[in-house]
Structure 1
């Protein structure tokens, strides 16, 4: 097993489950829309970009239009990121009539504390993993950065009880998800070689390894969507497919209530499947914008 294979599998499984605990100044530059209409190929909702100024992990805001003229944005999330990223999203969210958000458990207004999985002991490990990554990479967390108490925020996720019931019906466990991730990774065509153990040890010996570690982890996130879609094969998962189905049911209710401009704010790993569901309802992809989640400038 290559040096970072374990990391990429952990990223995939953790990212798939991360909305259970999703833990935020506008960005220096507003998202830049791509010119023209986008082809009907599977949309990329997460990318790792390298240019002369440095590198960055970016998430997409993708706009779709229904036959009735309703506009829905799929807003990809990375649950640990730069503070500027969450601030930019907070500003963006003010432009919608409704923002449908993921968070397994009760709606925010019914909670005293924002805890992973609404305080479920079975899900506390996830919060611990995210917090370890956040501290190691020196990033901010989503629950502290996003204004979930905004008046236009609408809870669009399963209850803890409903989630575990769905998992029981599918006989879905962390181990089964891990095995699916291994199978999905085996079929991936990687466009970057994974670093060697020597390279990783050299990074860890640095006084502050956070920047170089973010570059490594960011590159693994870049392949996460394909991993997740591989995990969704053969009946799908409760973590992605069933929660997406639930979110789109909430979307339909909001549209029937008269809303015409909405956003669905879910982890980027959810959005390829969610896009398929929208396209199946005759929504048309209109435009893509990108936001920097991790800004990694070259050192002078």
Structure 2
């Protein structure tokens, strides 16, 4: 497998989900990505999760092994400063679980949204069944769940559409799911739930935002591939993954371990990846659209909201909550997406 191919596979696991045929309130779709959520008035606790109460989530800093140019060092420093919303949790120095974070933000006294709760809920698109069972239970307790999907406004994902229409990225994701003995997010989360609301760009809005800034899908993909190449150079390339692929009965476990750290690196790099103007449609543009919907929900009086997005979106969203909504992070809860101790 070439580096670029692996980078696309890793990015697919976190970043892109298919969109399926829908009708009026269930419109036709094309390509989806990760989603962020906000939490209820009494924040739901996840059974297998760890809870922390820092001002911001823990930060994982990528190590540097070879001399870097000034530009590369500046880029890595920016990424290192980003709070981590996905991590590999270790026990006794050994990888134990790939985890995603739910970070609770509360409106501060004297601000417009005093007392309102917004949870940023990071998610991966392939994970173990228990992970999605817990997420589904957690999401059911919010007043509103704002979810990610590059699709026409109002799109809902119906279970019967999943088998009828699958994009290339969806095929990659389902292939990874089967290889790793994991499950597929779109098949496990109930997107038809009454409290779910689409909060993302339409395909036309996505393209228009790119063109407005002189960007393009191909330039964006090139930046993502560059991030993947840099990540693999740091972690030693495909050697560990190739060894895991031929490791016999323990192949699923060994492959999950080999891929988990690379997935974390890809997500952190993507979170800090801007174009020449310091903007990007993939993260910041879509986050702006999501937060327009968030403002509508808060202004309508909803006080317990989840933003259900991929982990790469959350650092920018956290800044928006603090700077534009007068909110502060009060608690981080970690959930096990992949158990790295079992097949």
Instruction: State the TM-score, normalizing by the size of structure 2.
Output: 0.73
Q: Is the 8 A contact 2:123 2:308 kept in 1?
A: yes
| Residue 48 of structure 2: aligned partner | 30
- How far apart, in 2, do the equivalents of 1:136 and 1:72 lie? 35
| Residue 11 of structure 1: aligned partner | 10
**Alignment CA distance shift 1:170-1:18 (3 Å):** farther
Q: Is the 8 A contact 1:63 1:287 kept in 2?
A: yes
| Residue 125 of structure 1: aligned partner | 168
RMSD: 3.4
State which of 276, 296, 300 in structure 1 corresponds to 2:340.
296
**Alignment CA distance shift 1:112-1:78 (3 Å):** closer
Q: Is the 8 A contact 2:146 2:308 kept in 1?
A: yes
Q: Is the 8 A contact 2:145 2:196 kept in 1?
A: yes
**Alignment CA distance shift 1:168-1:131 (3 Å):** farther
| Residue 57 of structure 1: aligned partner | 98
Q: Is the 8 A contact 1:85 1:293 kept in 2?
A: yes
Instruction: State the TM-score, normalizing by the size of structure 1.
Output: 0.82
- Residue 277 in structure 1 maps to residue 320 in structure 2: yes
SS across alignment from 1:157: coil
- Residue 48 in structure 1 maps to residue 91 in structure 2: no
1:198-237 to 2 correspondences below 5 Å: 199-208=240-249, 209-235=251-277, 236-237=279-280
Deviation at 1:163, TM superposition (A): 2.3
Q: Is the 8 A contact 1:16 1:239 kept in 2?
A: no
| Residue 123 of structure 2: aligned partner | 77
Higher mean displacement: 28-37 or 59-68: 28-37
SS across alignment from 2:52: coil
Greater RCO between the two (CA within 8 Å, min separation 6)?
Answer: 1
Deviation at 1:167, TM superposition (A): 3.3
State which of 256, 281, 300 in structure 2 corresponds to 1:238.
281
**Alignment CA distance shift 1:138-1:201 (3 Å):** same
Deviation at 1:175, TM superposition (A): 3.2
Q: Which runs of 5+ in 2 are unaligned?
A: 19-30, 35-44, 59-80
Give the number of equivalent residue pairs: 290
